[in-house]
Structure 1
Amino acid sequence: MRKFLISAEQILTFACLMIYSGTPLDAFLTDGYTVKQGDRIIFRLLFTFTYIFSLFLITLRWKKVAYVFSRDKFIWILIGLCALSSFWSLDPDTTSRRAIALVGTSIFGLYLASRYTINQQLKLCAYMLGITAVMCFVFAILMPKYGFSGGLDGNTLRGIFPTKNVLGKRFVLSGAIFFFLAMTSKENRLFLWFGYIISGLLVLLSKSTTSLGNFIIITGAFLIYYRILNLKYKVMIPIVTFLLTLGISFYVWFISYADTILGSVGKDTTLTGRAELWPAVLQMIAKKPWLGYGYGAFWGEKGESSIIVQTVEWNAPTAHNGFLDLCLALGLLGVLIFLIGLVINFLRGIYLIRWNQTSENLWLLVYLTYIIFSNLTETTLLDQNSLEWILYVSAILSSKLSTRTNLGVA
């Protein structure tokens, strides 16, 4: 009976991860970023199921959950600020509703961290993303009407996702997970390497330049963390300094010759409108710099996004930058709280790898790197009903829980 209950819990956890990652419903019920009003109830019911499922299970092991919950205060302070922002939000109802959804999403991340080890979490994600990859190819071959997107994206693969950019973003994360497990696990390595290759292929087929760049960066970052951080300081510091200098030099070079580089491959040199969008967003941030417009309120129907839409002359659904969107929502205060938590956990991950290298600490660094780079051109920070936010919460809390275990605390 116990084995049955454990298996049932794992199957339900798997299903919840699929809901947060993206299901075929995303392709059937969405047109790009748009969800028909009548169809929203389906998504809300699915996410509500995940909230109830995780809330029920954490109550069964509340002592361990209470300890895990207390391991990082910055996550919960930030979520609390989201809820409080309803008092100054442009649209208090939307802010309150989305803050509740964010709490539910974070609770699922808390559940993962308290129930599974990092390796167990990532293996569940790997199987889920493997099935997702198969479904993307099935849609492309058997249902091209849904598997490919038209319009501004052209005839590009989107699989079971709303847009090609969501497909690219999802399989950058998939590639990071498969590569990490392939490098740190001894079991099923052939399957894991195959998953990594398929993830890279889907990123290429998405034709998302930023996703391809992030895929390469995350792979390189893992190799740096895996090899270099364990070297002696006399060797590590010069190598890290060299790589940092090389990276900055490449970035400056790329910006200087963006017209030539992007033009040569037929890309818009304004990064698909972002170069026009970001200055307009910064102007709106300057109007309410300290506390922002309220969590989830700026881009809503009652928000002030119409001013930006008129300026850039295209219907931007977000700022296409997680840090700018965070500033729009919670102001510089919210950005400061997030960055403090991010930097502390990043430095802590480096210290723990040098002290006692474990997969949990290594994954923490890899995932924080993914969060930073993926949010330079897209928005996943503090996003309700987001797999990225769930894994952010679980990575930080699981790493801190593993430290307790390594120190011999029961």
Structure 2
Amino acid sequence: MKELLTNPIILLPILGCGVIYLLLAFLAVSRNQKLGALAEKLVVGLYLFMMPGLGIAPFSTFHPIALAHPAKSLPSMIVQLGLYGALLFILSPRLKYTLKYSLDLVALLLQKNPGLCLYLFLILLSFGWSDTPIYTLKYSLVLLGTTFFSIYIIKQYSYLELSSLLRWGFVITAFLSTFYSKFKPAIGINRAKNSWQGIIDHPNKLAALMALSAILWGLEAIENPKNRWLSIGAVLYSLFVLKMAESGGAQVQFLIGTITVLSVRFLKKLPFQWSLFFVVLFLILSISGFIVITNNLEAIIVDGLGKDITLTGRTPLWAYLFAEKIPKRPWLGYGFHGFWQPWRGADNPAANHISGELRMPSGGGYWIPPHSHNGFVEIIIDLGLIGFIAFALSFCTALVQAIQYLTSPQKGESNLESVLPILLLIFIVFPNLTEIPLVENNHNWYYYIFVAVGISLKTSRKNFRVEPGLKKLPYHQNLLIAEARKKGNIKT
């Protein structure tokens, strides 16, 4: 197949057809605003669906993080960038309207969440103190690219629309994961855990997605009685896939998320200061309980959640990092993606072995960690204490604004919209206590951008959402006009 595609006689006609279809799509979007909005929504939905890390082709090949991988070949990079460029070209008639006020949005973020802006700036500059500056710069640019796209999404889509896109993406993930686990177990079953991972690259990720899916569909069942049975079915199916993924951490996340949703009415009745107090207290107690359960109660860990007492060797790893590696570069760290580099052999900054491997004890043997298995430790490793302080400032700002938004929602907004920012923050914090890095091109990071940027927009009560033909009006007015257009009540 590769030989056929590299043959100029075959390749040129294929490229010619591709250019023709590209131009036709561009003309269709430029002449039909509704088609442009639909095309953009499809691209956004695909982005939300793909970013958690799909283990099936071709999604793994075209995931943004693949652009920075050391093994990425130049032809493959050209094809991937060409695909992104083609999508931008098709959507460009719409983007010339929707990208308006981008500088105003940046100015607002500098004012409302300076910690986030500082943190992103540190990521961009970190190639300057990385031992592998080109490698760090590639990863930094890719992360900033997906960050800007996530900012664009939350600028253009309300939390209600975003919740709908996430819910349906989760349903597709659940069905495809069932198919791959039942009919293609070589891909869909994680042999190390003997549990479902489906189309996602790890069972714990799949379980976390299903936990959030069950909660969002449950909220939809409460808010939208017309489709209640559909929503209840989606809740039950999400919980089924969650069970098959066998993740104790995700079960805890589901429990904590459910308690949060059930507490919304109580929190809304309280003054802002008391709501802030109870939410922070709840987070502290939940995190403490999570740590106690997963570290100290051996009977619960072994019999209930299927873990060992050291979290599969994570606690010795964290002790080693804080004792041996972090003190060497405490302030600015090793640079973004500048620490875990096993291909460098003995020069690997993470290594404690002559082969370049970091071997940690676990269950009488050893394991080789690919990262710190804690998103907050990873921040310190990459960007040092300065980077961690910047992120902590950003997170605390987002949390305070999310509670402010919960206690004083804008006119016409539902409970689902008001609770979504806090719910996403919960699903950011808990996986990063023992699992995947937070600041990475994955769903955790776009959750965080949706909260940090979206809540800054909400609490400022300024509108930067622009649709072709719509004036810049207060946020809720623009939503009402857009909804009326969809129903055909407004034609111009």
TM band (smaller chain)? 0.7 to 0.9
Which residue matches 1:25? 56
Which residue matches 1:228? 266
Shift of 1:39: 8.6
Aligned with 2:106 (options 69, 78, 81): 69
Q: Deviations over 1:330-384 (max 9, x none)?
A: 0111111111111112112212322336444421111112211121111342212
Kept in 2, the 8 Å contact 1:323–1:375? The answer is yes
Is 1:286 the counterpart of 2:327? The answer is: yes
Shift of 1:127: 1.2
Which residue matches 1:399? 455
Which residue matches 1:336? 389
Q: Deviations over 1:256-282 (max 9, x none)?
A: 852222233453121122122111122
Q: Deviations over 1:94-113 (max 9, x none)?
A: 11000011111101111101
Kept in 2, the 8 Å contact 1:26–1:161? The answer is no
* Unpaired segments ≥5 residues, structure 1: none
Which residue matches 1:80? 121
Shift of 1:387: 2.3
Is 1:143 the counterpart of 2:184? The answer is: yes
Rounded Cα–Cα distance in structure 1 between residues aligned with 2:407 and 2:270: 9
Kept in 2, the 8 Å contact 1:136–1:160? The answer is yes
Kept in 2, the 8 Å contact 1:291–1:330? The answer is yes
Aligned with 2:351 (options 295, 306, 326): 306
Kept in 1, the 8 Å contact 2:295–2:309? The answer is no
Which residue matches 1:96? 137
Q: TM-score, normalised by structure 2?
A: 0.72
Shift of 1:205: 1.1
Distance 1:154 1:378, change over 3 A: closer
Aligned with 2:213 (options 164, 174, 177): 174
Which amino acid is the alignment partner of residue 354 of structure 1? T
Rounded Cα–Cα distance in structure 2 between residues aligned with 1:330 and 1:120: 34
Give the alignment of 1:254-265 within 5 angstroms.
254=293, 257-265=296-304
Distance 1:251 1:65, change over 3 A: same
Which amino acid is the alignment partner of residue 305 of structure 1? A
Aligned with 1:381 (options 438, 443, 447): 438
Kept in 2, the 8 Å contact 1:360–1:398? The answer is no
Shift of 1:207: 1.3
Shift of 1:326: 0.6
Is 1:208 the counterpart of 2:247? The answer is: yes
Larger Rg: 2
Q: TM-score, normalised by structure 1?
A: 0.85
* Mean CA deviation greater in 133-142 or 64-73: 64-73
Larger relative contact order (Cα-Cα within 8 Å, sequence gap ≥ 6): 1
Rounded Cα–Cα distance in structure 2 between residues aligned with 1:38 and 1:137: 30
Give the alignment of 1:186-197 within 5 angstroms.
188-197=227-236
Shift of 1:196: 2.7
Query: What is the number of equivalent residue pairs in this alignment?
Result: 403
Which amino acid is the alignment partner of residue 258 of structure 2? T
* Unpaired segments ≥5 residues, structure 2: 1-31, 464-472, 476-492
Which amino acid is the alignment partner of residue 63 of structure 1? K
